Structures are given as structure tokens and as C-alpha cells.
């Protein structure tokens, strides 16, 4: 007599076979629905298929062969921001990110197992420019000139920007007021005062090209706290741009490049100042297991991931030296999704900010609800991104704060863009480490504007 198969563990499905998604993770969901009130897309649409619970139903049904992976099903899954707020809300510990991310990789493959051919925007912009800081810097040269001559404002006033393709129009709207680019970071910066730690700084791609000054402020703050700071030149993009859009192989190549770039045996931590990058770097071990099928515990990438620390997390653990110079300002703090949900870092940035003399930190309603940035989501899903951006900025403006603080470059671009559209560019968008650096250095906000 043949053995009766377990009805809860179906035969492998092409979407989830060859490593990747672990079917047992579906079974952790008890369908209680507590995740729905935390899900940004469900809050906006009210559609059960746009909730974490609904998406788990869809992914499991596809895996079981009960429904086809139609365009309609894929649409509900693509609309997910992957903000991981459902993981925070879930009492059962469902690892939603470990379901949606490998499922998307398989979902965007062709029948022969090869990644789907990207459209022009993904091929030339998302994958051809964004992961490379040097390429972004060169493409920003015309933008810097236009901003200096105020030609960008003239183009908007005359409607010339409407001649651009929709995605390029959005890129133009998301572009912040670019600060003058300072000197390149050296490969090594020594600790100031007594040495307390040896760290390496992850500089990123988009963040380094558009917010190079934040990398400098991060390095200075680390120095002020007694850290020798190494900045490896062979590091690259974290790979999130590729992985979150279903391109597994390029993401793995970048992960391996970064693992080799950082001499983790001789450093205490790899410091990251971008929430999205930090979340990706910390997930390298999981991702390697999902994409290659290798045992996670034996992966060099898993060892690398254990050294990754958000800058606020690291300084909190180290015991940050109290800054002395006051910053008289009312501010509010926005929790970047991949900091508060993916990395469970909430109190540490607030602790650092509360150390700054004169800084008044006021609470923000729905602080942990996504602003709609979600990496490249605000470029690929403009309608939902705009709805969430408006929701976030309305809450920010309701605080009466002079500035809003956050630890993620995507959030910064999104929120600056929405504030500008509402003629509220007077509300400054800052990184926590910028304020900490100002308080250490004794420089005022006006000098940084």
C-alpha cells in the first residue's frame, strides 16, 4: 500500500521549488487578521487581497495549485510594499518577508527559470544606474546645473517636464535640492580621543550619490565616539533594488561583493545609516539560503550579516557621548519601515535625539505606517505611493514641527517631494545623525540648509 501524502505539504510547485520559499512558513499564519490594521495598502484599499493575510492566502493557493498565478493575482502581490509592518503586528511570528520576497523572485521568472526580461525603465535606470554611485553622480550633473540656474523651476512652471515619460517625471519630482558634494571619504578616519571600537562604514549607492553629506556626518559622529572608521572602496550596492523586484542572481552577486569588501574579522561592526540597506545586509544569510539552497548557518554571508549594525543601534549599544551644543528646534520622528519593522529599531534613534540639548521631539501619529517610498515603489507604483505620501505628510504637518527626522534615504526623498508639492519645503527633512553631528560640532541648522 502506498503511503498517504501529508495533505498540508503538496508536491513542489514551479513557483516555489529549487530552494527559496519554505512551505511551512505559510502554516504559521492563523488568519487572525490582526495584521490588517497595520498594512498600509489594506488601510488604503480595504481589499482583503491587499492585506498580508490575503496575500498569504494567494501565495499558498498558487503553491497548492488551487489557483493560477494570473496577472490579477500578481497585481495584488506586486502592490505589497514589503514594509514588514505585518510582522510587528503578528502575534504568531509569521515571517512575511521570508514569504513574499522569494515568492516574487520565482513569480518574475520565465518558464525556463530565467528572470523575466526587464522593461526599459528597469533595464536602463533601476538596474543600469541606481546600483552604481558613480553613474548616479554623473547623471546628476545636469540636475545640479539646472538647480543652480533654477531651470528646473522654469521647466515645471512652463509644463516642459510633462513631455518626459511618466517615470522620469516622477524621478524629477523626487529629486531633492542637491547639496554641494564635498570631498570623497578617505579609506580610513581615526578615532577622536580614546579608541573604543573599530568599524567599517557602508556608503551605499543612491544614498552616497544624493546624500553624500550624511555619510560624512556619520563618519564624524563615529570618530567623536572613539571609533576608527574604515571605508572600503570595493563595496557596492546592497542588492535590495534587484532582490525586491525579483532579480535574485544580481542581488547575490552584489552580496558576495560586499562580503569580500569588508574585513569583518578585524572590525567590530559594519555601520549602515540607511534603513533599507541595513535590512538587506542583515538578511544576506536568509537570502543566500533562499536563492542557493545552501545551509544558512554555513554561509559566509550569514557571518557577515551578524556584524551589520544601524548607526543608531551601534551608538546606543556603545554608549554615545553626550553632545554639548544646543539645537533649539521642534522636531518629529518618522519610523522608517525597514528600521522599525524589519530591524526592530525604534528606541535607539529617539534616545540619541533626546540627548541633544534644546531639541523638542514631538510624537507623530501613525509613525510606523509606510510613507510610500519602499525603495523604488514610489517609481513603480505611483498611485499608492502618492496616497501614502499624502497621508504621512498630513500627519507630519499636524505636529507643527519645524523638521521631520528619519533614518532612510527613500523616506527622505519621498517626504521631501510631498512637502514640496504642498509648498511646505520649509519643513526640513533630516537624518538623526545630522542633528547629532550639528550638536557635536556646534553648527546651526541654517548652516546645513
Domain boundary among 52, 80, 107: 107
Contact 404, 431 (CB under 8 A): no
pLDDT of residue 294: 63
Q: Are strands 197-201 and 227-230 parallel, antiparallel or unpaired?
A: parallel
Provide the whole-model pTM: 0.88
Residues 299 and 336 in one domain: no
Q: Is residue 113 part of a domain?
A: no
Residues 329 and 432 in one domain: yes
Residues 307 and 338 in one domain: no
Contacts of 19 (CB under 8 A, 6+ apart): 289, 290, 291, 292, 293
Q: Is residue 44 part of a domain?
A: yes
Q: Is residue 183 part of a domain?
A: no
Q: How far is CA 112 from CA 14, 106, 140, 288, in A?
A: 10, 11, 38, 21
DSSP H helical segments within 381-431, as ranges?
Answer: 382-398, 409-421
Residues 196 and 298 in one domain: yes
The CATH number covering residue 253 comes to 3.40.50
The CATH number covering residue 326 comes to 3.40.50.11810
- 3-state DSSP assignment of residue 9: coil
pLDDT of residue 146: 87
Contact 421, 445 (CB under 8 A): no
pLDDT of residue 377: 87
Residues 92 and 198 in one domain: no
Residues 336 and 416 in one domain: yes
Q: Is residue 13 part of a domain?
A: no
Separation of alpha carbons 97 and 104, rounded Å: 11
Residues 201 and 165 in one domain: no
Residues 303 and 331 in one domain: no
Residues 310 and 330 in one domain: no
Domain boundary among 263, 291, 317: 317
Number of domains in the chain: 4
Residues 269 and 350 in one domain: no
Domain boundary among 86, 107, 128: 107
Q: Is residue 134 part of a domain?
A: yes
pLDDT of residue 4: 39
Q: Is residue 345 part of a domain?
A: yes
pLDDT of residue 178: 85
CB-based burial label for 70 (10 Å; 0-12, 13-18, 19+): exposed
Q: Is residue 243 part of a domain?
A: yes
pLDDT of residue 375: 79
Mean pLDDT in runs of 10 for the chain (449 residues)? 41 47 87 92 94 94 92 92 93 90 80 66 87 90 87 82 80 84 94 96 93 96 98 95 84 94 95 96 89 66 95 97 95 96 96 96 96 86 92 97 96 94 94 96 62
Residues 312 and 326 in one domain: no
Q: Residue 343 belongs to what domain range?
A: 322-448
Q: Is residue 313 part of a domain?
A: yes
Q: How far is CA 202 from CA 5, 206, 358, in A?
A: 48, 12, 31
> How would you classify residue 145: left for phi > 0, otherwise alpha for psi between -120 and 50, otherwise beta?
alpha
The CATH number covering residue 30 comes to 1.10.1060.10
Residues 347 and 295 in one domain: no
Amino acid at each position: 500500500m502506498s503511503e498517504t501524502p501529508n495533505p498540508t505539504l503538496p508536491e513542489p510547485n514551479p513557483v516555489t521549488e529549487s530552494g527559496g520559499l519554505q512551505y511551512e512558513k505559510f502554516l504559521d499564519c492563523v488568519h487572525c487578521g490582526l495584521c490588517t490594521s497595520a498594512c498600509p495598502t489594506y488601510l488604503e484599499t480595504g481589499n482583503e487581497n491587499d492585506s498580508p493575510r490575503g496575500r498569504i492566502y494567494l501565495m499558498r493557493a498558487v503553491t497548492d495549485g488551487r489557483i493560477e498565478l494570473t496577472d490579477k493575482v500578481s497585481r495584488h502581490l506586486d502592490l505589497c510594499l514589503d514594509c514588514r509592518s505585518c510582522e510587528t503586528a503578528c502575534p504568531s511570528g509569521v515571517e512575511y518577508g521570508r514569504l513574499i520576497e522569494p515568492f516574487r523572485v520565482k513569480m518574475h521568472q520565465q518558464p525556463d527559470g530565467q528572470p523575466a526580461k526587464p522593461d526599459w525603465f528597469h533595464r536602463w535606470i533601476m538596474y543600469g544606474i541606481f546600483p552604481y554611485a558613480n553613474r548616479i553622480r554623473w547623471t546628476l550633473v545636469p540636475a545640479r546645473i539646472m538647480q543652480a540656474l533654477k531651470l528646473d523651476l522654469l521647466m515645471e512652471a512652463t509644463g516642459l517636464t510633462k513631455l518626459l515619460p511618466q517615470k522620469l517625471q516622477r524621478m524629477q519630482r523626487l529629486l531633492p535640492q542637491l547639496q554641494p558634494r564635498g570631498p570623497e571619504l578617505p579609506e580610513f578616519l581615526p578615532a577622536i580621543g580614546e579608541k573604543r571600537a573599530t568599524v567599517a562604514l557602508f556608503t551605499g549607492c543612491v544614498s552616497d550619490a544624493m546624500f553624500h553629506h550624511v555619510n560624512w556626518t556619520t563618519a564624524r559622529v563615529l570618530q567623536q565616539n572613539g571609533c576608527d572608521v574604515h571605508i572600503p572602496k570595493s563595496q557596492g550596492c546592497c542588492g535590495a533594488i534587484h532582490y525586491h523586484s525579483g532579480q535574485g542572481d544580481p542581488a547575490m552577486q552584489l552580496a558576495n561583493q560586499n562580503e569580500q569588501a569588508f574585513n569583518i574579522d578585524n572590525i567590530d561592526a559594519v555601520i549602515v545609516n540607511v534603513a533599507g540597506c541595513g535590512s538587506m545586509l542583515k538578511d544576506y544569510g536568509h537570502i543566500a539560503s533562499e536563492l542557493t539552497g545552501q545551509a544558512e548557518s554555513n554561509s559566509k554571508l550569514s557571518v557577515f550579516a551578524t556584524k551589520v549594525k544601524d548607526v543608531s543601534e551601534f551608538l546606543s549599544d556603545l554608549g554615545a557621548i553626550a553632545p554639548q551644543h544646543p539645537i533649539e528646534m521642534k522636531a518629529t520622528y518618522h519610523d522608517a519601515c525597514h528600521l522599525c519593522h524589519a530591524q526592530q529599531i525604534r528606541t535607539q534613534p529617539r534616545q540619541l535625539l533626546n540627548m541633544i540639548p534644546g531639541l523638542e521631539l514631538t510624537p507623530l501619529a501613525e509613525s510606523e505606517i509606510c510613507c510610500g517610498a519602499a525603495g523604488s515603489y514610489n517609481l513603480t507604483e505611483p498611485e499608492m505611493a502618492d496616497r501614502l505620501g499624502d497621508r504621512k505628510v498630513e500627519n507630519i504637518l499636524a505636529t507643527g514641527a519645524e523638521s521631520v527626522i528619519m533614518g532612510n534615504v527613500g523616506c527622505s526623498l519621498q517626504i521631501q517631494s510631498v512637502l514640496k508639492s504642498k509648498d511646505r519645503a520649509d519643513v526640513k527633512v533630516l537624518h538623526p545623525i545630522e542633528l547629532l553631528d550639528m550638536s557635536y560640532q556646534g553648527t546651526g541648522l541654517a548652516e546645513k540648509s
